[in-house]
Each structure stands twice: as structure tokens, then as C-alpha cells.
Chains A and B, each alone.
Chain A
Amino acid sequence: MAQHQITLTINGTERSLALDDPRVTLLDALRQHLDMTGTKKGCDHGQCGACTVMANGRRINSCLSLAVMHDGDTITTVEGLGEPENLSPLQAAFLHHDGFQCGYCTPGQLVSATAMIEEIKQNWPSVVSGDLEKVSLSDDEIRERMSGNLCRCAAYANIVDAIREAAKAEGVA
């Protein structure tokens, strides 16, 4: 098979990757080829959200996207949000509010929430938005916008608490 040479900027670092198979998803490129296993595989079908990463600032299911489609893209994964000794405010809020149990969906929840707060800042409405001109961060907005990230341990209520706190600290209300 032909070699596919791609370059990704992952969490601020440029990474070159030679793929001899175009079927490698962005998720498997991260997990299998770059040893970045923070991004999780829950369903491989775009149904659970555990594989959520940001591509050029926008959250996507990395299992539904082929790595070769992302040549030149900027990718943010959970490893890029913070470190164990230096958590992002949202990661710290997840820890404090116990917004996870088994922790497997957690990287996806965190990347998704990080991108979601930006969506609120940019005034993107959702199906539950009362006012399309000025979107506010109500609990229902958080729940609706985070419903693409399943959590079987069902830490949902704590996830909402964590996101609300972190967003408010950032001045998003």
C-alpha cells in the first residue's frame, strides 16, 4: 500500500506520521500510532463521544474521521488540556465535583465541554436555547450540548455542576 505522509499539530506539537493504510481513523492514529491513549474508544461508531477531540478548535468524534483527512490540522486531545500536577480549571472542577467514576468517558467529556464553552461564548444556539440572539449557559444548555458524551456510570449531574462552575469562573454565564 502507498505511504500516506501526514502532519498534525497535536496539543501544540507538530507530529509527522507515515501511514501505510488509509483506513486508520484519527482515533486509532492517536492511540495506536502516536501512543496517545488519553482519547478513548468506546463504540468506534460515533455513538458515545469517548473519542472526542478538537480538530481546528471544533469538537469531533475522532473514530468517525480518517487520519489522512486531517493533514495539516490542529488537534487538541485531553492530554493537551492539562497535566496531573497542573489541571485545567475544568479538569479541576471535574475532580472536585466527582464528574466521573470509572474515568473512561472522561477525556471525551472534558474535550467536549472545553469546546462547548467556546460555542457558548460564540453564541451558537442549540435546540433548547430560549433566545437565539443571546445564548446563556443554563443547566439545560449544558445537558443538551453534552448529550453526545455518554457516561454509563452516570456522573451527569456532577458533570453539569463541574462545567457550570468552570464556565462561570471563566466569565461565561
Chain B
Amino acid sequence: MMDDMDLSLHHKMEEKDERNQLDQTAQDVLSKPLDRPEGPLKVTGRATYADEEHPEGTAHGVFVRSTVAHGWVTGMNTAALRKMPGVLAVVRDAKMLRNPAQGTAGEAPVQNPNEIFYVGQPIALVVAETLEQARHAALAARPKYEAKDGEFEVPLEDYETPPKKQSSEGDLDSAMGQAAHSVDSIYTTPAMGHAMMEPHAAVAQWDGGKLTIRASCQMLKYNVAELADSLGVKAKNVRILSPYVGGGFGGKLGISHEAVAAALAARKLKRPVSVALHRRNVFEATTRRSETRQRLRLCCDDQGHLTGFGHEAWVSSLHGESFSEPVTQASSFTYAGDNRVIGHHIARLNITCAGSMRAPGEAVGVPIVECAMDELAEKAGIDPVDFRLRNIPEKDPSTGKPYSSNRLADCLTEGAKAFGWEKRGEVAHQREGEWLIGLGVASAVRVNMLMNSEATITLDPDGHAVVETDMTDIGTGSYAILTQLAAEMLGLPMDRVKTVLGDSDLPPSSGSGGSFGAASAGSSVMLAARALREKIAERLGVEEKDVTLKDGNAISGNKVTPLTEILAGERLKAKGEIEPGATGDDVRQATWGAQFAEVAVSAITGEVRVRRLDATFACGRILNPKTARSQCIGGMVFGLGSALTEELSYDLRNGRLMTRDLADYHIPSNLDVPPMNVTFLEDRDPYANPMQAKGIGELACCGTAGAILNAIHNATGIRVRDFPATPDKVIEAIEAAQGQG
């Protein structure tokens, strides 16, 4: 038996990779619409999520939440709670978190729950024998507070303006003054919630000084470090298991309250403790997408060429948090214009901590840019698709760097054709009874990233392979694409490859976030497989590129050798490791799309019904068209929710979240969702990674809301600049326009 880890391949993306190895492999399982390998477990209820494997003797914890927005906890009726039936402990520990860690933090977030920063902040954990007893006692808690005034909204002059987050080129003011056409509009978008279906949960168990915790986490490598730092233990003594994650969308990037509190309580009680957040805890106390105020200043000449592009954003978060919604992230490189302004302003408010949510930045920035582009196209009298096509730069207009690949024009052109854009009529032109019909377009754009990621593949003597990495599958299809990749590279049928994920003892991956998971974890699997291929080729006495692997055989020259013969009773294990390099800095990497919507707007109630959503995307090699399409339709519906229904509403008198459950925070339901078409353009981005694959899941939610709002304008002639376009706002604008008319 050989040493377990004699093979490894590390690759840093320092230059473009045009080998396109995945176009030359022969197994023909990659880029095929295969079913998810873990699917049978999910559709039978056998896939186990965080709160579903309770060791013998597990106790239950429920949080006591702050009812004030700012101040200090000065006491609590702990003794009385301790006497309630079944209560084992009331944990008030300075190691508990104020708020979850931000994505990729890798260290403890702000701790000590005694200092209160928002309503709903967990301030104690009541642990009891049963869930019912813990819940009863937590609700009976009567904390004493030294309350201070909270800040729930602040005047614009009180926003921070970090110098590093401002930029300008040329003179936008004079460009606006001299332009043939210009737009200067203020838009607002509300705070939003991830609303993943599985609430955050953790089951903690100590074995001596070692902690094992089942939790719902997206990025285990970072989460282990965050949890260990929060608890004051060594990272090597912490193991996190997240084999199945019931959705994340960024809401489970960093370690959260329940994991830390469950670990503290389990250590104190010397027995396993489960803490599953109630849905209202999830909304109040995990993270949210920041509300935004955005000012768009766009101007163009009489030919519709942009001469100025200004995008300033006002967002909020808690005191001391480094993350703030990067609203203008894509604004620096999407459209032309010599005179540019980017602005970023941050308010410190006493409401739920802001954090990353699906496409942080672009998800709220791009729709607003796209609405403003629609306004300017109309003023210039140019078709909105044509107007966009006229303003796609040759290179990144802010930095002068080339694009790794820019397929926006192809997406717009192909997408318009597929959607039937030529049928779009004049504004407020088409009516069916009470319904006003309109079509809208928006570009979609999202930065593309690569992260450090490692994986191993073990090839057993009988020709079966096991892929292992701490990568997670949060519904994105990691199990499917990593299995397909290994099978493709090693020439094995799918049923001879098994993928094990979601265990922090496995090689550290990128984790799931920022749409970099498939590219990063996938590349590491590809590299591990390449290392195995090299070994196989070496044994055959040929170069790796000259060997074809298919159906468990190696083919070189005209000789077919079974893998089992080459392995000769030995087991091979290889590690692959991808590292981002110069291709992340030398060129502008992004994914591109064009999205189209058809809406019907009731002229009587202001209700908006989306009739059709179409999208054309260019996002590199598609590893599995079935799961990729699912990511896209899911993203488009995510965008639909942000356009029409979703809003975290805070009571500005006391900071209380009024829409803290799924009855009041309206994510789209089945009947809200229209037929959808998704088209992927054949795309290879050599700068991205050795697979030439890119992110998908976030791109799809970046253009939808813009297309819908622009379609509402086409239907009615009104512009809703305060998202979401709920019936009250739509009908008010329609009536106001009729009054003016």
C-alpha cells in the first residue's frame, strides 16, 4: 500500500489557461443535465440537516431576545427561570455573540451580548430538558435594561464617507451640464432577508476538550476559526459538520449565535445541546441585506453615448462592522462614460446587522443602474437594448484593464431575439381589460472570483473514487458537479464516484459564497484528478495529455488497459489545490447576462403580475445544465421578490422589525412565478480557472428586478423609484399620472 498522500498538484492562476482540458476528456458526463446524486435522499426526507441528529441526552436551548434596541442588560430573573420545570441552565456568557461573523472573517465577531445594539439580540440562552420547557422559560424571562436611545435612521450628513470607497474621474458635474440628455434620480431599496428555508441550528457535543458541532454553515474553514476564536479554544479542537444545508444565500456565511451558545451550554452542562433559531430569531438576529438610497447621475450625447456615469449609495450597518453593502461594485466597469463618480456612505443604526446576501452589491445596485439607463434611453429616444449596446466599453472604463471576457452585447442581442423584444410597444400602449401590459430589459452583471480551495480524490484498487473536501452544498449542486468533474477527469461512470462534503476535518475549500464555490472547489477536484491522471500516465509510460480515460479504462496509442490493472492492488490518493493569482488582478473578471420581463399591471389595483421572465447568460463553462438552470430560475425569482414584495420594515420609533416572519416578509410563492426561459451562451473564460467555469447563482438575481421595474414603466408610463413596487405605490403613481394628464 502506498502512502496515502503521495500525490498533489497545486496551481496558481497566474496566467490564462487555454488548455481547455475538459473539452478533451471522454467520459461525457460533465456538462450533462444529470440528476443530483444526493437527490434521492432529499426527496425521501433522509438527508439530515443541522438539527436532525441528536445524541443521547440532548438538551434544548432557546434564546432570550432583547426587547430594547440599545443599552445594557443589567439583570434578569435568572433564579426564577432556573426553578421552572425542566430548566437546566440560563446561560449568560460574555463569549456569546452580538451578531454573526461576516463572510470569510475567520475570527470571532463582536461578542458580549450584555451590550445591546438591536431589538431581538440574543442576550441569554435558556436550556431545558425539552424544547417546550426551554421555550416557555425563555418567554418568561424578564431582563432588566439600562436603555439608551437607538438610531434607526440618521440624516444624510451623519453618514460616514470612507475615503477609500469614493472615486471619481473627469468632471461629472460639467458633463451633466453639457449633455444632450441626462438623468439625476434618487432610488431606494429596502432591507431584505435571506429567508432560507432551514432556520439556523446547531447541535453541540464535547468529548473532553474536543467539540463536534452539527450546524448549518456555508464556509466551514472560516467557521471553524470563528467558532474556535469565539470560544477561546484551538481550531484543531473544533469540528463542524454540515453535510446538508437548507439554503444559505449568504445568511450562513459566518458563525452565528446558535453555534457559539450551543457549544457554551454543552460545555457547561456536560451534555449535548441543540439550539435551533426560531424563524423570528433568524430575521431579527442573523443578518440582513442593507436598505439602500442610491443617486444615479447618467448623461449622454445626442447619439446616446454615455459621457457621464455617477452612482452614489447610502447604506447602513451596526457599529464596528467592516462589511457594508457594496452597491456600486459593478458600476465601475459595466458602462462607458469618461466622467465618473462612485460614492459610498454608511450609517450606523441600531437594527439587525447587515451582511452579505446573494450578490451583495450587484443585487441592489445593478437594478437601479438599469432603471436609470432605461430612463436615459427614453429621454434620448433610443430603444433600451440598443442604448445599452452603444455603451459597452472596450475595456474597464475605471481602470483601463481588459475584460477577461465581456459577452454583454451577445447576451442582449441573443436574449432580445429569444424573448421577442421587437414586440415591445410604446409606453402605456397595450391594454387587456384592466391589465396594462409592458416589456422591460436589464443587463445583469456580477464580479467573478476564485478562492483558495483544496480537495482530495482517493482512487481505490477496484476503480472507485472518493472525492473529499469541506465544501458545502447549499442547494447549489456541489455534490452533482464535483462528482461529475471527478468522473469526467478519471474516466469513471458516475456510480463509481462518491463525493463527501460538509465536514471540516476534510481538506479546506472555498466554501459556498460569492458564486466562487463551483469554480474554486471544482478546480481543486480537477487538479487532484489531474495528479491521478499523471500517475496513471506515468505507469503507462506516456504523457498525461496522451492518455484517454473512459469507463474505467486507460487508452493510449491503441492499447486499452483497465484502471484496476494499472492500480495493481494499490490505492492512490491525490490532493488538488487552486490558488488565485494574477488573473484576478490583471483583467476585469465578471459574468454577464441580459434579462427580460413581461408584466401585467392592474390599472385598478396597481397589482403587478409577472407574465414571463427570460434570461440569457454568459458565465463560462456550464458544468451541469440542469442544476445551473435551477440556480438561474431561483435567482430570477429571488429578483422578482426584491422587485415586488420583499421588505424588512423597521418601526422607526423603536427599532422593532415588523416583518419578522414568512407571513409578513413576502418571498415569492408558486403562483407568483411565471414561465421562465434560461439560455446559456457557449462561453470559455481562460482567465477564470482551469475549468473555464464561472459563477452563476448570484448573476441571475442581478438583472431581474430592473427588467420588471422597466416593464412596469413600459406598461404604465410610471417610474417606481422606491422598491418594492407594491400595489399601493403603483396605483398612487398611476393615479398621479392620470391627474396630471
| Distance between Cα atoms of A81 and B668 in the complex (Å) | 27
> Could you say which of A37, A95, A102, A143 contacts B197, with CB atoms under 8 Å apart?
A102
Nearest-neighbour CB distance to chain B for A43, whole angstroms, equals: 4
Number of interface residues of A (CB under 8 A): 63
- Asked if A47 lies at the interface with its beta carbon under 8 angstroms from chain B, I say yes
User: If A28-B131, A103-B42, A154-B637 touch, does A98 touch B626 (CB 8 Å cutoff)?
Assistant: yes
Indicate if the CB atoms of A45 and B35 lie closer than 8 Å: no
Closest residue of B by beta carbon distance from A144: B671
Indicate if the CB atoms of B44 and A48 lie closer than 8 Å: no
Q: Which chain B residues lie closer than 8 Å to A84 at the CB level?
A: 40-41, 44, 46
> Could you say which of B476, B662, B676 contacts A157, with CB atoms under 8 Å apart?
B676
Indicate if the CB atoms of A152 and B48 lie closer than 8 Å: no
Contact digits for A104-147, partner B, Cβ 8 Å, 1 yes 0 no:
11110010000000000000000010000000000010111011
Knowing that A38-B44, A39-B45 are A-B contacts, what are 17 other residue pairs whose CB atoms are under 8 Å apart, sorted by A's residue number? A1-B85, A21-B130, A36-B45, A40-B49, A43-B662, A100-B42, A102-B198, A102-B246, A104-B49, A104-B198, A140-B671, A147-B670, A152-B638, A153-B634, A154-B635, A156-B670, A157-B633
Q: Write the residues of chain A forming the contact surface with B, with a CB cutoff of 8 angstroms.
A: 1, 21, 23-24, 28, 31-32, 36-45, 47-48, 50, 77-79, 81-85, 87, 91, 94-96, 98, 100-107, 110, 128, 140, 142-144, 146-160
Indicate if the CB atoms of B630 and A21 lie closer than 8 Å: no
A and B contact pairs by CB, cutoff 8 A, 29 listed: A21-B132, A21-B133, A28-B131, A39-B45, A41-B51, A41-B276, A42-B199, A44-B278, A44-B279, A48-B197, A78-B43, A78-B45, A82-B44, A101-B247, A101-B476, A101-B477, A101-B627, A102-B197, A102-B198, A143-B671, A144-B671, A146-B670, A152-B249, A153-B630, A154-B637, A155-B634, A156-B633, A156-B673, A157-B676
Most chain A CB neighbours (cut-off 10 Å) among B132, B197, B476, B634: B197
B556-579 residues with Cβ-Cβ distance < 8 A to A are none
Indicate if the CB atoms of A31 and B52 lie closer than 8 Å: yes
Nearest-neighbour CB distance to chain B for A98, whole angstroms, equals: 5
Q: Which chain B residues lie closer than 8 Å to A91 at the CB level?
A: 40, 43-44
| Distance between Cα atoms of A172 and B195 in the complex (Å) | 34
> Could you say which of A41, A47, A103, A143 contacts B670, with CB atoms under 8 Å apart?
A143
User: Which DSSP category, helix, strand, loop or mixed, fits chain A's interface?
Assistant: loop
Indicate if the CB atoms of B675 and A102 lie closer than 8 Å: no
- Asked if B542 lies at the interface with its beta carbon under 8 angstroms from chain A, I say no
Q: Which chain B residues lie closer than 8 Å to A149 at the CB level?
A: 670
Q: Which chain A residues lie closer than 8 Å to B249 at the CB level?
A: 152
Q: Which chain B residues lie closer than 8 Å to A104 at the CB level?
A: 49, 196-198, 246-247
Number of interface residues of B (CB under 8 A): 66
Indicate if the CB atoms of A154 and B195 lie closer than 8 Å: no
| Distance between Cα atoms of A151 and B671 in the complex (Å) | 12
Q: Which chain B residues lie closer than 8 Å to A155 at the CB level?
A: 630, 633-634
Nearest-neighbour CB distance to chain B for A137, whole angstroms, equals: 14
Q: Which chain A residues lie closer than 8 Å to B278 at the CB level?
A: 44
- Asked if B14 lies at the interface with its beta carbon under 8 angstroms from chain A, I say no
| Distance between Cα atoms of A142 and B675 in the complex (Å) | 13
- Asked if B39 lies at the interface with its beta carbon under 8 angstroms from chain A, I say yes
Q: Which chain B residues lie closer than 8 Å to A37 at the CB level?
A: 45, 48-49, 51-53
Indicate if the CB atoms of B675 and A157 lie closer than 8 Å: yes
| Distance between Cα atoms of A21 and B638 in the complex (Å) | 40
